[in-house]
Amino acid sequence: MNTQGTSTIAVFGATGQQGGAVVDALLERGARVRALVRSPESDRARALAARGVELAPVRIDTPASVVTALEAVDAFYFMTPEANSLQEVEEEVRVGTALADAAVAASVPHVVFNSVFGADRVTGVPHHDSKHRIEEHLRRSGLRTTMVRPTGFMENFSTVMAPVVEDGTVVLRLPLPDDAPLKLISIRDIGRIAAAVLFGADVPGGAVEAVGDELTGPRMAAAFGAHAGLPSRYEALPLSVLPNELDREMFRQFAKASEHPSDLAAVRKIEPAVQDLAEWIRSTGWTAPADLAQA
Ligand SMILES: NC(=O)c1ccc[n+]([C@@H]2O[C@H](COP(=O)([O-])OP(=O)(O)OC[C@H]3O[C@@H](n4cnc5c(N)ncnc54)[C@H](OP(=O)(O)O)[C@@H]3O)[C@@H](O)[C@H]2O)c1
């Protein structure tokens, strides 16, 4: 791979969160980026084009369109869409295997698959095992493949996992036991890690868990409290608060995370500036939401 910034790298998911972060990191490194998009006229696709990204229209159901889009690229990054039901899990596997097959047909020299942590094994979490199945398909394909396996997004603390302030105390509530460490990564760093790998960073074993921090609930709450200058409290919730069985199974697995400790040193060899939670909180300018007791 050319490391002088003149390589062409194809990205699937460029209009989304992780693929968007990969594009940001690739452009910073001076790569030429070709985004495989289904809607070239969408606002997000146009915004990419305005930054110099080439748009290649693809239809997953028309394999030739994907093969054409992958012609003459130096490397190909792909993620797979969110699945919230068993039907969507099968669709995710279908998309992933179709992209892998197109990469074989286009003789892509290096594929980086944005998988998920733990996808080296079957875990019983449907939307993680889907990624395991895609990894296995890639392995059988003969393609040179590297797996980047992201952990939970820190950005979830701005949405579904947002702490609240009650009576002057930062309170974090998650369906996770107090003593279970949660593996976390910022989306920015997923992009940086994937870009480094696309540019040829050495990845022992052909797979890296993308992780920037690993903290128990009380320690996560304390990181938000320290930033806000407020005391903090963590409360473990029952799994029944989760909207579907897929997520309940995922949090059952999260509770066992200490069986598979993270290797932060391995990540730092690829992306030395990977953020921990405190750094992410600072860098995003997170502010404590209004105190519910005073609302
Ligand atoms: N949330 C977490 O903490 C977490 C942690 C680890 C892993 N994950 C995994 O991350 C994945 C979601 O990633 P994300 O948040 O980056 O996704 P996202 O922001 O929802 O983006 C999805 C991307 O895929 C594209 N896409 C979907 N279906 C397509 C199709 N048929 N043809 C062409 N493009 C298609 C979308 O394009 P359009 O713009 O056209 O829609 C968009 O660019 C899931 O697999 C999830 O399991 C999540």
pLDDT band at residue 258 under the 50/70/90 scheme:
confident
pLDDT at 295: 55
DSSP letter for each residue of 210-231: E-SEEE-HHHHHHHHHHHHTS-
Looking from the CA of residue 59, the nearest atom of ligand 1 is 32
Compute, in angstroms, the gap from residue 171 CA to the centroid of ligand 1.
29
Compute, in angstroms, the gap from residue 231 CA to the centroid of ligand 1.
36
The CATH homologous superfamily for domain 8-152+187-211+261-274 is NAD(P)-binding Rossmann-like Domain (3.40.50.720)
Compute, in angstroms, the gap from residue 113 CA to the centroid of ligand 1.
13
Compute, in angstroms, the gap from residue 131 CA to the centroid of ligand 1.
13
pLDDT band at residue 289 under the 50/70/90 scheme:
confident
Pocket (CB within 6 angstroms of ligand 1): 13-19, 38-39, 42, 44, 60, 79-82, 95, 116, 127, 150, 152-153, 156
Nearest alpha-carbon partner for 193 in 185, 183, 181 = 185
Q: Is the pLDDT of residue 292 over 80?
A: no
Looking from the CA of residue 152, the nearest atom of ligand 1 is 3
Distance CA 287, CA 221 (A): 13
Compute, in angstroms, the gap from residue 258 CA to the centroid of ligand 1.
27
Beta-bridge partners for 54: 34
pLDDT digits (tens, 9 = 90+) for 146-202: 999 999 999 999 999 999 999 999 999 999 999 999 999 999 999 999 999 999 999
pLDDT digits (tens, 9 = 90+) for 95-143: 999 999 999 999 999 999 999 999 999 999 999 999 999 999 999 999 9
Q: Beginning with the edge strand found earlier in the chain, give each strand of the sheet holding 75-78 in spatial order.
A: 54-57, 32-37, 8-12, 75-78, 111-114, 145-150, 207-210
Residue nearest to atom 10 of ligand 1 (CA): 82
pLDDT at 273: 97
Residue nearest to atom 20 of ligand 1 (CA): 16
Looking from the CA of residue 92, the nearest atom of ligand 1 is 45
Residue nearest to atom 9 of ligand 1 (CA): 82
The answer to whether the CB of 94 falls within 8 A of the CB of 63 is: no
This prediction has a pTM of: 0.96
User: What is the average pLDDT score of the chain?
Assistant: 95
pLDDT digits (tens, 9 = 90+) for 24-46: 999 999 999 999 999 999 999 99
Nearest alpha-carbon partner for 220 in 186, 172, 176 = 172
pLDDT digits (tens, 9 = 90+) for 245-257: 999 999 999 999 8
Please report where in the chains the tokens 């995370």 appear, as a residue.
257
pLDDT at 5: 54
> Can you say how many angstroms the Cα of residue 4 is from the centroid of all Cα atoms in its chain?
26
pLDDT digits (tens, 9 = 90+) for 72-104: 999 999 999 999 999 999 999 999 999 999 999
Residue nearest to atom 31 of ligand 1 (CA): 60
Residue nearest to atom 47 of ligand 1 (CA): 82
Compute, in angstroms, the gap from residue 12 CA to the centroid of ligand 1.
9
Compute, in angstroms, the gap from residue 232 CA to the centroid of ligand 1.
33
Q: Beginning with the edge strand found earlier in the chain, give each strand of the sheet holding 164-166 in spatial order.
A: 164-166, 169-174, 232-236
Q: Percentage of residues in the chain with pLDDT exceeding 70? A: 97
pLDDT at 288: 82
pLDDT at 136: 98
- Candidate from 11, 12, 18, 254 with most ligand 1 atoms within 8 A of CB, to mutate: 18
Q: What is the dihedral of CA 21, 97, 2, 7, to 10 degrees?
A: -60
Domain coordinates in residue numbering, the chain: 8-152+187-211+261-274
pLDDT at 293: 65
Show the 3-state SS of 133-199: HHHHHHHHHCCCEEEEEECEEHHHHHCCCCCEEECCEEEEEECCCCCCCEEEECHHHHHHHHHHHHC
Residue nearest to atom 25 of ligand 1 (CA): 13
Q: Give residue 149's region: left, alpha or beta (phi > 0; psi -120 to 50).
A: beta
Compute, in angstroms, the gap from residue 294 CA to the centroid of ligand 1.
38
